[in-house]
Amino acid sequence: MEISKKILTSLIFLGLSFSLTQCSSAKGMERERQKNISYEETEDYAPSVAAAPKSAPSGETSQNTTKPQKRMMVYSVNVNLQSKEIETKVTEIVKLAESFGGFALQYSSGGSVQLKIPAEKLKQFLYTLRNQSQNYSEEVSAQDVTEDYTDTEIRMENALKMRTRLLEILKTAKTLEETLKVEAELNKVSESIDRWEGRLKYLSSAVQLSSVHVQVRQKWEPVVQKEYKPGPLGYPFYYLYLGIGKVKDGLVWLFVQEIPKEKTEIPE
């Protein structure tokens, strides 16, 4: 049995449109992966920062100008600090993270702690941890995933539209071969929808929860030598020890005298 020309033409047109959309979105996502923003370029640890509005296309009035898009930032922080008791400090850090609505992904008695902190509370969490720690240092980096998220949304919308169109075509299928052909395309589109949906959830979670890695190191205190004083029964022996030292110095003075060195005249 042959597929009707109408259904075949529709499938070819939809397939080409979907492929072109995916290719253009893929290029945008690749540019997004290469984009990293350092901590110095960000003013605050916030999940989003307003971007400059896009210029309106020629021939359109200023009323049609698109609204400023909020930037979606993923923050990552590395913290180093010192403590006398490593295990006790690790427990304190985990409890501090939980008090700010975060949680620990993993931690060890060696001092390594991996945390997830809500982005809107990240600055306050780091400020509190800094005040409660010794020899504290931190390194904050941010990645802008706005374009990646937008491209994924476009892919998702196009896939949903294509699925709707394929369902309409499926209703007009008259033969078994036509039905199987349309269902095969529907399966491909459904797989794409699941993939883009998972990507959107991942990016949203990464923006809302910042990653914080804390490394606690042992702090070594200098050894202070203590001065000991003799007790009530130790004073006689203490003075005897001092007297023996004086007698030794006297004997040395009686039998050994310092011989002055001869002065050597420097010839003129």
Tokens representing residue 223 in the block: 């050894």
What distance in Å separates the CA atoms of residue 212 and residue 97, rounded to the nearest whole number? 10
Angle between helices 176-208 and 5-33 in degrees, nearest 10: 20
DSSP 8-state symbol, 67 = P
DSSP string, 135-197: EEEEEEEEEE-HHHHHHHHHHHHHHHHHHHHHHHHHHH--SHHHHHHHHHHHHHHHHHHHHHH
Output the pLDDT for position 220: 79
Output the pLDDT for position 71: 87
Q: Which amino acid is it at 28?
A: G
Q: Is residue 21 helix, strand or coil?
A: helix
For residue 218, the number of C-alpha atoms closer than 13 Å in the C-beta half-sphere is: 5
Altogether, the residues listed in the chain come to a count of: 268
Q: Which of 105, 130, 123 is nearest to 44 (CA)?
A: 123
> What are the tens digits of pLDDT across the range 132-141?
999 999 999 9
Q: Is residue 64 helix, strand or coil?
A: helix
Give the Cβ contact number of residue 241 at 10 Å: 11
Output the pLDDT for position 89: 94
Tokens representing residue 191 in the block: 């797989």
Q: Is residue 124 helix, strand or coil?
A: helix
Residues of the chain with pLDDT under 70: 1-69, 221, 223-228, 230, 233-235, 237, 239, 251-254, 256-268
Q: Which of 206, 203, 190, 187 is nearest to 152 (CA)?
A: 203
